Amino acid sequence: MAVTLRDIAAEAGVSVMTVSNVINGNRSRVSQTTIDRVQRIVEARGYVPNVSARNLAARRSHVIGVLVPVAADDSLLMSPHNVAVIGGMERALRERGYHLLLRGIADPREVSEAVQAWDLDGALLLGFLDEEIDALDLPADVPLLALDSYASHPLATGVRTDDYQGGLLAGRLLLACGHREVLFAGPTFTDIGVVRQRFDGFRAAFVEAGIAWHDGLVASVTTTHDSGVDLGRELKARYPDVTAVFATADILAIGIIEGVTDAGGRVPRDVSVVGYDNLDIGAYVTPRLTTIAQDIGDKVAVAARMLLDAIDDPAAPRTGITLPVRVLERGSVGSPREA
Amino acid sequence: MAVTLRDIAAEAGVSVMTVSNVINGNRSRVSQTTIDRVQRIVEARGYVPNVSARNLAARRSHVIGVLVPVAADDSLLMSPHNVAVIGGMERALRERGYHLLLRGIADPREVSEAVQAWDLDGALLLGFLDEEIDALDLPADVPLLALDSYASHPLATGVRTDDYQGGLLAGRLLLACGHREVLFAGPTFTDIGVVRQRFDGFRAAFVEAGIAWHDGLVASVTTTHDSGVDLGRELKARYPDVTAVFATADILAIGIIEGVTDAGGRVPRDVSVVGYDNLDIGAYVTPRLTTIAQDIGDKVAVAARMLLDAIDDPAAPRTGITLPVRVLERGSVGSPREA
DNA sequence: CTGAAAGCGCTTACAG
DNA sequence: CTGAAAGCGCTTACAG
């Protein structure tokens, strides 16, 4: 049988509540002598508080749910971006005494279920659509943080990078190199959201430069390597005048480069490609990927802090934070060839 | 206030325990009429059982800890391999009604602490050294499963792929292409463990072929892209006669290819490279990486099943399972040039 | 088929 | 500075 508070209390000759106070660092309420004695016994007996009992009594869990939508194949959406976020989050939480419950969400209702069932202190929503977030029905006192979201749900006020600026920078870069026919490649988007922002920023670069941009130059594709390859292969046929592509994700951009190469083209000589994210992998491919870089570590650190602060002080007003992005020039962008 | 069992019981006019039985599917103990009535109320009120209370009373948690060592920089060891495992594990657990607690372990003692504190039903150890596993001091009744481990700890009987065979296949492949001076590149290894097995298998290929292999041809490096690059750059200088490298991880192999290329060499013309794992990324680099492929999905599925079976029947004897590996030939291996 | 009661291991006002 | 008691929301023998 595991050692309990009661065992410690008996051995120390004090009440259970005194031991509890020592364990929880309520030192002002206990004499130093008692603290020392109890701590020695705790140490000697290898006492470990039972999480369930503590959570039940305290009506909170010190657990943060990291909730990730599950794709059609029922497996977690573990993009390199999400992986970096989860890893960083685990670390930030551990440092502050919280734990991470990783949970795939097949139906949005499971979000509030998870929050209730686990007495979650908070939750990080990773990769949900803004519409899904807005449709969430949650107890108002549980801090939620949706990463990279433009949802208007008040609980979801969060952290994101400057997607509009990212699009703008990508547009400017390609325009500065002399490109005029540029394809925007990314997932289907609506009036709000990450992709919309990147698109608007991208288009603004053309307006700013006084250069017309063809509405038709948008390719709606899934954000995967494979669909990038497909697009790259057909690029010449479907968009004969295009000299550059702005892809909303590195993984997609890398696929596009591969597809273009497969079809006999060369990057950046025939087609320039700009990605988005700055994943490690972009540095491993040939040519190295030019991309819009966001600092995921920063983003996670800020998100963790914001979430835990909201838990400590639920009444404090929350304002979203937008982190900067920058252009990381490597080898996949050049000037267009003469026609 | 959240709805509790008692609320449901009151509304249904039955005892709390009857509701509990309905919730938990002990249908043989309740009449169909009662079941229906209770279920309707549960549905209408949006009742969600409290996990802490359930765990405390039942003395089990339905939580599986996925425990990953934290590196020197305190962040989780999220290699692509581990990521795939964690993603697959979450899914397998969710399908069977379990939850995943992701936890970085800085000190091996935290393993048993976590098990105790959370009443963990089981734990998956991911990326621990065999020595660490053998040194673990755990309550005997909590199933542990160490992936890819050769530890002798009885609780750690687990699942791994055939590392010896992997090394053997890599060796045979390179020998068949005509290579004789082959460098083995991987982390420092001892008498037991994954790397030792791959090494032994690799060397056995030479013995089998009746070809001598130079003991000096082992490069001890960390399993990272960067150290691969370093090794690749110095390859010609440090190992002038070497015509091929067998790296114990794809990420390392990819770095080596890049380093060789940086130094003006060409793969596979000047140097052939074989990796290990079959990560997605191996298909994106130039040339595409030839590698020893393991089916991580399979491995995780088997591991999840084994772990949950052990939880269901702790008395059942456990035997480790070794899954097959195969050679995946792509573009990074060729014949050595004439000297 | 159903229930009353004890108990899981903690924390939290409250009292002194 | 310390304690007795109630209670968190469940499950588990036990009894009928």
Q: Output the domain CATH number for residue A148.
A: 3.40.50.2300
Q: Which nucleotide is nearest to B7 (CA to C1')?
A: D9
Q: Residue A221's pLDDT is what?
A: 96
Residue nearest to nucleotide C5 (CA to C1'): B17
Measure the CA–CA gap between A23 and B319, rounded to whole angstroms: 41
Which of A213, A141, A212 lies closest to A183 in space, CA to CA? A213
Q: How confident is the model at residue A77 (pLDDT cuts 50, 70, 90)?
A: low
Instruction: Please check whether residues B300 and B153 belong to one and the same domain.
Output: yes
Q: Which two tokens stand for residue B144?
A: 């542990």
B58 CA to C3 C1' in angstroms comes to 20
Instruction: Find the radius of gyration of the CA atoms of chain A.
Output: 26
In a domain, A189, yes or no: yes
pLDDT digits (tens, 9 = 90+) for B159-175: 999 999 999 999 999 99
Q: Does residue A338 have a pLDDT over 60?
A: no
Instruction: Please check whether residues B271 and B187 belong to one and the same domain.
Output: yes
Strand B99-105 relative to strand B63-69, pairing: parallel
Q: Residue A154's pLDDT is what?
A: 73
Size (chain A), residues? 339
Q: Which stretch of DSSP H or E encloses residue A228?
A: helix A225-238
In a domain, A232, yes or no: yes
Q: Give the mutation candidate from B102, B223, B261 for the A interface (greatest A CB count, under 10 A).
A: B102
A76 and A70 Cβ atoms separated by less than 8 Å: yes
Q: Does residue B72 have a pLDDT over 70?
A: no
Return residues with beta carbons within 7 A of strand D: A 13-18, 21, 28-31, 33-34, 53, 56-57, 59; B 1-2, 4-6, 16-17, 20-21, 23-24, 47, 49-50, 53-54, 56-58
Cβ-based contacts under 8 A for chains A and B: 123
Instruction: Please check whether residues A283 and A171 belong to one and the same domain.
Output: yes
Give B3 to chain A, closest Cα distance, Å.
10
Q: Residue A310's pLDDT is what?
A: 87
pLDDT digits (tens, 9 = 90+) for B35-55: 888 889 999 998 999 999 999
Instruction: Please check whether residues A176 and A238 belong to one and the same domain.
Output: yes
Say if A100 is an interface residue toward chain B (CB within 8 Å).
yes
Which of B164, B229, B241 lies closest to B201 in space, CA to CA? B164
Query: What's the mean pLDDT when you consider all of chain B?
Result: 90
- Asked if the Cβ–Cβ distance from A286 to B285 is below 8 Å, we say yes
Say if A17 is an interface residue toward chain B (CB within 8 Å).
no
A25 CA to D13 C1' in angstroms comes to 38
Q: Which two tokens stand for residue B273?
A: 């490279």
**Average pLDDT for A246-269:** 96
Measure the CA–CA gap between A227 and A259, rounded to whole angstroms: 9
Which of B37, B58, B79 corresponds to the end of one domain?
Answer: B58
Q: Which range has the worst mean pLDDT, A35-49, A249-263, A290-304, B144-158?
A: B144-158
Q: Residue A1's pLDDT is what?
A: 61
Which of B195, B198, B191 lies closest to B171 in space, CA to CA? B198
Q: Residue B133's pLDDT is what?
A: 86
In a domain, A93, yes or no: yes
Measure the CA–CA gap between A314 and A329, rounded to whole angstroms: 42
Protein-proximal positions, strand C, CB < 7 A:
1-5, 7-13
Measure the CA–CA gap between A69 and A197, rounded to whole angstroms: 22
Residue nearest to nucleotide D3 (CA to C1'): A15
Q: Residue B301's pLDDT is what?
A: 93
Protein-proximal positions, strand D, CB < 7 A:
1-5, 7-13
Give A211 to chain B, closest Cα distance, Å.
35
B51 CA to C3 C1' in angstroms comes to 24
B139 CA to D10 C1' in angstroms comes to 25
Which of B134, B26, B98, B67 lies closest to B309 in space, CA to CA? B98
Residues of A in contact with B105 (CB under 8 A): none
pLDDT digits (tens, 9 = 90+) for A78-124: 777 888 899 899 999 998 889 999 999 988 889 988 998 999 999 99
B129 CA to D11 C1' in angstroms comes to 39
In a domain, A53, yes or no: yes
Instruction: Please check whether residues B187 and B76 belong to one and the same domain.
Output: no
Measured in whole angstroms, the distance separating CA B328 from the mean position of its chain's CA atoms is: 20
Which residues are bridge partners to A186 per DSSP? A220
Say if A81 is an interface residue toward chain B (CB within 8 Å).
no
Instruction: Give the rounded percent of residues in chain B with a pLDDT score beyond 70.
Output: 96
Measure the CA–CA gap between A338 and B11, rounded to whole angstroms: 79
Sheet with strand A218-220: strands edge to edge: A218-220, A182-186, A244-247, A272-277, A290-293, A326-328
DSSP state, residue B98: -
Domain count, chain B: 3
Which residues are bridge partners to A247 per DSSP? A185
Instruction: Please check whether residues A83 and A153 belong to one and the same domain.
Output: yes
Measure the CA–CA gap between A89 and A99, rounded to whole angstroms: 10
Sole residue written with tokens 């699942």: B159
Measured in whole angstroms, the distance separating CA A129 from the mean position of its chain's CA atoms is: 12
pLDDT digits (tens, 9 = 90+) for A156-185: 678 999 999 999 999 999 999 999 999 999
The residue with greater pLDDT, B135 or A186, is: A186
Measure the CA–CA gap between B311 and B143, rounded to whole angstroms: 6
pLDDT digits (tens, 9 = 90+) for A124-164: 999 888 888 888 877 667 888 999 988 887 776 789 999 99
Measure the CA–CA gap between A238 and A234, rounded to whole angstroms: 6
Size (chain B), residues? 339
**Average pLDDT for A48-57:** 92
Which of A320, A333, A328, A330 lies closest to A166 in space, CA to CA? A328
Which residues are bridge partners to A68 per DSSP? A104
Instruction: Please check whether residues A167 and A286 belong to one and the same domain.
Output: yes
Measure the CA–CA gap between B233 and B227, rounded to whole angstroms: 10
Please name the member of B78, B86, B99 whose beta carbon is closest to the beta carbon of A101. Answer: B99
Residues of A in contact with B51 (CB under 8 A): 52, 117-119
Q: Output the domain CATH number for residue A36.
A: 1.10.260.40
Q: Give the mutation candidate from B52, B76, B77, B82 for the A interface (greatest A CB count, under 10 A).
A: B52
Strand A182-186 relative to strand A326-328, pairing: unpaired
| Phi, then psi, of B219 in degrees rounded to 5 | -110, 120
Instruction: Please check whether residues B20 and B143 belong to one and the same domain.
Output: no
Residue A51's domain spans which residues? 5-58
B86 and B102 Cβ atoms separated by less than 8 Å: yes
Report chain A's terminal Cα–Cα distance, integer Å: 80
- Asked if the Cβ–Cβ distance from B83 to A83 is below 8 Å, we say yes
Q: Give the mutation candidate from B51, B59, B89 for the A interface (greatest A CB count, under 10 A).
A: B51
Q: Residue A173's pLDDT is what?
A: 98
Q: How far is the CA of B193 from the CAs of B66, B71, B89, B199, in angstroms?
A: 20, 19, 23, 10
Under DSSP, is residue A308 helix (H, G, I), strand (E, B) or coil? helix
Measure the CA–CA gap between B269 and A135, rounded to whole angstroms: 57
Cβ atoms < 10 Å from Cβ of B216: 8
In a domain, A70, yes or no: yes
In a domain, B241, yes or no: yes
Instruction: Give the rounded percent of residues in chain A with a pLDDT score beyond 90.
Output: 56
Measure the CA–CA gap between B174 and B253, rounded to whole angstroms: 15
Q: Give the mutation candidate from A94, A115, A121 for the B interface (greatest B CB count, under 10 A).
A: A94
Say if B84 is an interface residue toward chain A (CB within 8 Å).
yes
In a domain, B265, yes or no: yes
Which of B58, B80, B100 corresponds to the end of one domain?
Answer: B58
- Asked if the Cβ–Cβ distance from A104 to B91 is below 8 Å, we say yes
Q: Does residue A335 have a pLDDT over 90?
A: yes
The alpha carbon dihedral of A43, A48, A54, A60 has a sign of positive
In a domain, B335, yes or no: no
Strand A122-125 relative to strand A63-69, pairing: parallel
Q: Which stretch of DSSP H or E encloses residue B123?
A: strand B122-125
Q: Does residue B77 have a pLDDT over 70?
A: no
Under DSSP, is residue B102 helix (H, G, I), strand (E, B) or coil? strand
Which of B221, B218, B279, B220 lies closest to B254 in space, CA to CA? B279
Q: Residue A73's pLDDT is what?
A: 66
Strand A290-293 relative to strand A321-323, pairing: unpaired
Instruction: Please check whether residues A142 and A19 belong to one and the same domain.
Output: no
Give B234 to chain A, closest Cα distance, Å.
18
**Average pLDDT for A208-220:** 92
Residues of B in contact with A118 (CB under 8 A): 51-52
Instruction: Please check whether residues A187 and A175 belong to one and the same domain.
Output: yes
Instruction: Please check whether residues B90 and B142 belong to one and the same domain.
Output: yes
Sole residue written with tokens 């030939």: B329
CB-based burial of residue B210 (10 Å sphere; 0-12 exposed, 13-18 middle, 19+ buried)?
exposed
Instruction: Please check whether residues A130 and A97 belong to one and the same domain.
Output: yes
Q: Does residue A62 have a pLDDT over 80?
A: yes
